[in-house]
Each structure stands twice: as structure tokens, then as C-alpha cells.
Structure 1
Amino acid sequence: MSQPVKDRFDDVPRTSGRVGAHRAEAPGMNGWVVLLWSFVAALVLIVVGIFVALVMMGRITLFPAADDTTAPTPEPTGVVDTSYSVLILNATPEEGLDDQLRETLINAQWPDDLISYGPAGQQDFAETTVYYVAEADELAAIGMADLIGGAHVEQSDFYANPNDPEQKQLVVVIGLDDASTQPEPEETPAE
């Protein structure tokens, strides 16, 4: 049998009995570091598990919907200001409603010379409305609407006086809703 040929690696002295990298010690890994990393991993898993459980039970909402229940803004209360001139227009087929509303305003201490009234150009206006021109007139319009029984209030320059833009004026258009709430005259039975 022949002998293997010698090469330069045959002269390297053997210092340990181990051969290969898989038998080498893990450098820098000791028991305390492994224990610390295990503790951190367990803590993270526990916290994530609790969070997921709370989400699934509905105790935590990830993406809450916008809250539409904001505090309601108080509606401005009106002021009855008898210095305004008032135009009353009857926009219903029932005659005399404008005169009745005029009497209501006079009974509420409104000066007679500041009240004008008459029929409107139409007879099918749906809702009784108090119109005002400027923002500063809004509280007076609300006060007028409360005084006549809760009419709708709206800003419009349609009824503004072009000759006197500074005139303080309110316009009340009587609608069909007011005509239907007027008391019916009682019929007396024939004797």
C-alpha cells in the first residue's frame, strides 16, 4: 500500500481536539443576555396579545368615526324693536289676514304709522316668513317672528327700499300655513 503524499498542512500542530467551525464556542453569547432577550420578547408578546384582545372585545376602537354630536349652538333670541317699519303682505286666498296681523302688531304697541299692509302678488305662498335686509336686522326679524306666532325668518334684499337703503324695515309675507290655522267662524244652526 502506498503512503499519502505529505504537504504543508501535515506540519500544523494540533492544539485542540476540535475540528471545524460548528464546534466552536459562540462568541459574546452568555446566559444573561439570552435571558434578557427572552424576557423582552415575552413582554412584547403579552402586550400585543392584550391589545389585540381589547380591540376584538370592542374596548378599544382603532379608527373612531368623527363625532357629530357637537354641542348645539343656541339660537339667537329676538328683540321686539318697534322702531322698524313693517310691510305686511297677504299671500293667501283668504282675505283680511293682513288686517288681523296689523291689529296684532298695534296691540303689541307697534306704532300705527309704521305699519303698511295689503295683498301680495300671489296667493299660494307656503310658509309665513319675516324678511329682513341687513345682518343687523336679524334679531328684530326674529323678535317679529316670535311676536306673530313663530314665522320663518329669512334674509333677502328683494323688499329693500331702493330710495332709502338705510331704512329699517321688516316684511311679513303671510303664507298658507297661517291661513289654515286661523279660527273658522262658527256657524249657528238654523232655528
Structure 2
Amino acid sequence: RFDQLPAGSGRTGAHRAENPHMRGWVVLLWAALATVVLVAAGIFATLVLTGRVTLSPAPEPTVAAPTVVAPELDTTYDVLVLNATPETGLAARTRDDIIAAGWSADLVIAGDAGSEDFPTTTVYYPLPSDEPAALALAEVIGGAEVVQSDVYQPVDAPDSRQLAVVLGLDRVAAGESTPTP
């Protein structure tokens, strides 16, 4: 219908404007920009999906104040004192110190450990509720590490409340140890 013009107008065909030469470059630039944007979005999405990049900031770790357990002297516990050093009589002397602090003599047992090279004197307690008593016992013997472990608990009486003191080489004065015969 556009090609049908009245005979007197002098025109024939449709009127179309010429394409400027720069139009091809504009299309190419838009296509390149779209390609770059799509590739960047794909890389970012891959990083997010694999967990290498997180969209939300990492929560700051909250540091809980450590609970401080106060020593509480409880002389109703059984106490096992083991000498893990080459010095003879150290367990007996420690037993005497514990009895002097208020324990009954029948609740405190002293003996030798299976080794003579335990590095640090340690008080072992079985349950978290026994920690205050273990801390107090460590103070009674002049300081020691306190560790929760059921290794030194009696097998035949699992319900008994027992603390174990393993005397280490830190209790032996340098050059004063007397080796066992």
C-alpha cells in the first residue's frame, strides 16, 4: 500500500532513510557490554553457590566470659595420692599434708604410680560438680593442675566420690631426689 502512490506525485517505492555507518559499532558495543555483565553475574553466582562468597556479613563471634569456679574444701572425698617421681616418700608426705588439712586418715590413700616421669602434679576429678573440691585440694597440696578425668576412679565403686593426686617431677627439688632401690 505504501508503494501505491498517485501517478502525479513523481515518487515510486517506499521512502527509507539511509543507515548511518556508526550504527553497527553501537550495536557491537552494546552486545559486548551485555556479554561482560552476563559473564560477571555468572561468575558471582557461581562463587555464591559454592560458598566462596557470602552475601551477608559474617557474624562477629561472641566471647562468653569464662566461668570462674571457686575452690570449696570438701573433706568427704576419698583421695588417692600417687607418686609418679623417683623420690621416695613423697606420696606419704603429701598424704600427711592432706590429713592435716582436715581429711580423715582412712579417706586418704598413698602409693606409687606406674611411672616415675610424670611432668606436672595434677589433681583429677570425675564430674564437673567435683571441680570446686579438686581446686581446694590443689591449694592444700601447694598448687597443682586440675583436670577432669575418670581415669583414676575405682572400678569396684563407681558411685564413690574420689579425687586423685598424681605427683609429678615439678615436686622434686633439683638434685635432691633419692632414687628408689
With the length of structure 2 as denominator, give the TM-score of the two structures. Answer: 0.60
Q: Could you tell me how far apart the structure 1 residues matched to 2:176 and 2:152 are?
A: 31
* Secondary structure class of the residue paired with 1:99: helix
Q: Could you tell me how far apart the structure 2 residues matched to 1:184 and 1:74 are?
A: 39
Q: CA deviation at 1:125?
A: 0.3
Structure 1 portions without partners, runs of 5+: 9-62, 186-191
Assess if the C-alpha contact under 8 Å between 2:81 and 2:164 holds in 1. Answer: yes
Aligned counterpart for 1:154 among listed residues 147, 165, 168: 147
**Structure with max Cα Rg:** 1
* Structure 1 segments of 4+ aligned residues over 6 angstroms from their partners: none
Q: Percent identity?
A: 42
Q: Are 1:79 and 2:72 counterparts?
A: yes
Aligned counterpart for 2:86 among listed residues 89, 93, 103: 93
* Secondary structure class of the residue paired with 2:172: helix
Q: Could you tell me how far apart the structure 2 residues matched to 1:65 and 1:148 are?
A: 45
Q: Could you tell me how far apart the structure 2 residues matched to 1:115 and 1:146 are?
A: 16
Q: Could you tell me how far apart the structure 2 residues matched to 1:66 and 1:158 are?
A: 38
Amino acid at match of 1:115: V
1:164 aligns with: 157
Amino acid at match of 2:140: L
Amino acid at match of 1:133: P
1:141 aligns with: 134
Q: Are 1:108 and 2:101 counterparts?
A: yes
Q: CA deviation at 1:6?
A: 6.5
Structure 2 portions without partners, runs of 5+: 1-6, 11-56
Q: Could you tell me how far apart the structure 2 residues matched to 1:179 and 1:65 are?
A: 49
How has the CA–CA distance of structure 1 residues 184 and 72 changed in structure 2, closer, same or farther, with 3 Å as cutoff? farther
Q: Could you tell me how far apart the structure 2 residues matched to 1:72 and 1:89 are?
A: 34
1:40 aligns with: none
2:38 aligns with: none
CA RMSD of aligned residues (A): 2.9
Aligned counterpart for 1:117 among listed residues 107, 110, 115: 110
Deviations 1:102-147 (Å, cap 9, x if unpaired)? 1111211111111100111100001101111223222211221122
* Secondary structure class of the residue paired with 2:85: coil
1:52 aligns with: none
Deviations 1:41-71 (Å, cap 9, x if unpaired)? xxxxxxxxxxxxxxxxxxxxxx899467x46
Assess if the C-alpha contact under 8 Å between 2:123 and 2:164 holds in 1. Answer: yes
How has the CA–CA distance of structure 1 residues 65 and 175 changed in structure 2, closer, same or farther, with 3 Å as cutoff? same
